[in-house]
Amino acid sequence: MMPLSQLQHFLFNHLHHAIQRIVIAYSGGMDSSALLHALVTLQPIHQKQLLILHVHHGLSPFADDWAAHAQQVACDYDVPCLVLRVSVANTASVEAAAREARYQAFSQVLTAGDVLVLAHHQQDQAETVLLRLLRGSGVRGLAAMQEVGSVPFQNQTIPCWRPWLTINRALIQHYAQQHQLTWIEDESNSHTQFNRNYIRHEVMPVLQRRWPQASQQLAVTSQRMREADELLQELAASDYLDIQEQNSTLNISKLSGLSIARRNNLLRYWLARLSLALPDYADLVRVWHEVCLAKMDAEPVLAWRGVEVRRYRQQLFAMRPLSDADLTIEMPWFDKNQPLKLVTGECLLPDVVKQGIDSTLWLSGQLSIRFRQGGEKIKPVGRQHHHDLKKLLQAQGVPVWQRQRIPLLYINQQLAAVVGYWIAEEFAA
């Protein structure tokens, strides 16, 4: 299918009333120039607002010229354009750092009702498959890019479309030449020290001399990997229903009944459900051997970027790393009508904390929040005696690392409540 008809077919299938604006990631190169032209051509049909986003990375001496080109093209099409200036971290992988900076910039602009449209094509997909294959990716990684996906931005998810992902680049080039489009050539695209450029200029030509349909077949492979991943996700969802515990934890005893492959599949699914970064295969193996199978009296923890996995009794927990905080600090609560920001980063709401507490004591008493230091006792409502807080939390099944971070409400220097758990009888309404 030709680029314009492919785009029209794609929009017919995927545009809906909730989408108010089509945002084009415009580099100024041939691919994004052709996509922008096609979207403008079809605007009388799709009738959506258009916005051009051009990211100024500052990596090339011609970056200012490219930004000026983007603004001139936008003026010619009478489409608004934003030039987003970013700083690219000086890391070993400039490609990855530039991509991260680009998406961070997009996140400052995109909002509900937007869809981000990218000009990736069949050759881009083939290169991605090869790069991930050489990285040792599994089925999900080899599924590569999606035609219809989403990108998490801050506290929202924005649709992300690649309508030309199955289109051969030669057809896009023909379209651009046919319509006499002008575009910029990024000189860094020829620098083979970058992995993708090396694949594009050194590897793919060799493969295509032997297998002329290499790009197409690699793209087909990505689709088959996507179908395989869908089956794995369905299996993991079924296993999760059997093995999940309260608070999105996993039952280790039940987990041990799965085969290694099925267990690893479930662990990936579980971490993705929690919106946590997935580990590499070596760390996935370590989750089982170093956390699940640790000695019974151990308090194992395994960490990777932005994630901690822990075990308590026969439950497996995954979470973001606990923040460093001085838990010995006492935090006075002077304005009882306003939320109190804790040193752990959490925020206590007065309407929640004071539920069940004698309103007279709440209003007239001196309030403060502390954390466990050891030796605290409380007589919860309905109990006959005072109990060690440590033993109450153990009996409640509260994991060790959580016990130290539970806010304790003190009124007039006496323990009045363990927030979220118990109220002391002498302070109860």
Give tens-digit pLDDT for 363-375.
888 999 999 998 8
Give the pLDDT score at 86: 86
Residue appearing with tokens 């997009």:
106
Token representation of residue 68: 């000026």
For residues 169 and 163, give the distance between their C-alpha atoms in angstroms, rounded to a whole number. Answer: 13
Give the pLDDT score at 254: 96
Q: Which of 25-39, 367-381, 400-414 has the highest mean pLDDT?
A: 25-39
Please give the helix or strand (H or E) that residue 76 lies within, else none: helix 63-77
Q: Note whether 204 and 215 are within 8 A (CB).
A: yes
DSSP state of 384: S
For residues 292 and 255, give the distance between their C-alpha atoms in angstroms, rounded to a whole number. Answer: 9
For residues 87 and 95, give the distance between their C-alpha atoms in angstroms, rounded to a whole number. Answer: 13
Token representation of residue 218: 């690699």
Give the pLDDT score at 383: 84
Give residue-wise pLDDT tens across range 64-116: 999 999 999 999 999 999 999 888 877 657 777 888 888 888 888 888 899 99
Give the pLDDT score at 108: 83
Residue 154: pLDDT band with limits 50, 70, 90: low
Give the pLDDT score at 107: 82
Q: Is 156 left (phi over 0), alpha (psi -120 to 50) or beta?
A: beta
Q: Does domain 244-319 have CATH number 1.20.59.20?
A: yes
Residue 43: other Cβ atoms inside 10 A: 15
Domain range list for the chain: 3-221, 244-319, 331-427
DSSP state of 402: H
**252-279: average pLDDT:** 95
Q: What is the DSSP string of 247-258?
A: GG-EEHHHHTTS
Kindly tell me if the per-residue pLDDT of 214 is higher than 90.
Answer: yes
**Of 50-59, 275-284, 312-321, 382-391, the least confident:** 382-391
The distance in angstroms from the start CA to the end CA of the chain is 72
Q: Which of 48, 15, 111, 125 is nearest to 39 (CA)?
A: 48
Q: Which of 124, 207, 203 is nearest to 166 (CA)?
A: 124
Give the pLDDT score at 155: 63
Give the pLDDT score at 76: 96
Beta bridge partners of residue 408, listed in sequence order: 370, 418
Burial 332-349 (b: 16+ CB within 10 A, else e): ebeeeeeebebbbeeebe
Round the average pLDDT of the chain to a whole number and report it.
91
331-332 sheet: strands from edge to edge:
331-332, 367-370, 408-411, 414-418, 422-423
For residues 32 and 77, give the distance between their C-alpha atoms in angstroms, rounded to a whole number. Answer: 14
Q: Name the CATH superfamily for 3-221.
A: HUPs (3.40.50.620)
398, 403, 407, 413 alpha-carbon torsion, rounded to 10°: 120
Token representation of residue 44: 């009388």
**156-178: average pLDDT:** 93
Residue appearing with tokens 């680029």:
3
Question: What are the C-alpha distances in Å from 20 to residues 47, 151, 223?
Answer: 9, 17, 29
Q: What is the DSSP string of 159-224?
A: EEE-TTTTS-HHHHHHHHHHTT------GGGG-TTSHHHHIIIIIHHHHHHH-TTHHHHHHHHHHH
**9-25: average pLDDT:** 93
Tell me if the pTM is above 0.85.
Answer: no
